[in-house]
C-alpha cells in the first residue's frame, strides 16, 4: 500500500544516500589518490567500499545505515566543536575542510568497527 509517509521516507533515504556518495567521493577519493601505491591505500579502499554500502543502505531506508551515518557525522561534529573550544585547530576559517578530514578519520575507525560487529552478529544468528 502506497502512503505519503513511506514515500517521504524513501525520498529522504535516497537523498541521504546521494549525499553519502558525494562525501565519499570528495573525501576518500582525494586520500586514495594521494596514497595510491602505498600501504594506506589498502586501508582507504575498503572504507570507500563501506561508504558505498552505507549509501546503498540509506537509499533503501535501512535503519542500520541511518544509525551509522548519524554516528559518523555526529562524532565528527562533536570532535570539531571540542577542537575549536580548546583552541587546537590551526584556523577557524576553513571549518568545512577540517570537518572533512575528521569525517575521514572517524570513518576509518567507525566503518570497520560496525562491519566487524555486523559480521559477529550474523555469525551468532546463523548458529542459533
Each residue's pLDDT tens digit, 82-123:
888 887 776 666 777 788 888 888 888 888 888 777 777 777
- pLDDT of 91 reads 60
DSSP string for the chain: ---HHHHHHHHHHHHHHHHHHHHHHHHHHHHHHHTTTSHHHHHHHHHHHHHHHHHHHHHTT-HHHHHHHHHHHHHHHHHHHHHHHTT-SS-SS-HHHHHHHHHHHHHHHHHHHHHHHHHHHHHHHHH-
Q: How far apart are CA 117 and CA 111, in angstroms?
A: 10
Task: Give the predicted TM-score (pTM) of the model.
Answer: 0.76
Q: Does residue 87 come out as left (phi exceeding 0), alpha (psi in the -120 to 50 range) or beta? A: left
Q: Is the pLDDT of residue 72 over 80?
A: yes
Q: How far apart are CA 77 and CA 110, in angstroms?
A: 14
Q: Is the pLDDT of residue 19 over 80?
A: yes
Amino acid at each position: 500500500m502506497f502512503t505519503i509517509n513511506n514515500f517521504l521516507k524513501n525520498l529522504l533515504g535516497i537523498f541521504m544516500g546521494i549525499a553519502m556518495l558525494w562525501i565519499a567521493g570528495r573525501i576518500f577519493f582525494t586520500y586514495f589518490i594521494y596514497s595510491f601505491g602505498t600501504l594506506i591505500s589498502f586501508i582507504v579502499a575498503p572504507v570507500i567500499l563501506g561508504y558505498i554500502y552505507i549509501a546503498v543502505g540509506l537509499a533503501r531506508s535501512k535503519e542500520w545505515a541511518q544509525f551509522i551515518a548519524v554516528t559518523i557525522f555526529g562524532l565528527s561534529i562533536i570532535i570539531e566543536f571540542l577542537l575549536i573550544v580548546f583552541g587546537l585547530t590551526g584556523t577557524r576559517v576553513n571549518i568545512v575542510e577540517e570537518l572533512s578530514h575528521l569525517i575521514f578519520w572517524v570513518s576509518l575507525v567507525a566503518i570497520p568497527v560496525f562491519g566487524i560487529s555486523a559480521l559477529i552478529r550474523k555469525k551468532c544468528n546463523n548458529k542459533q
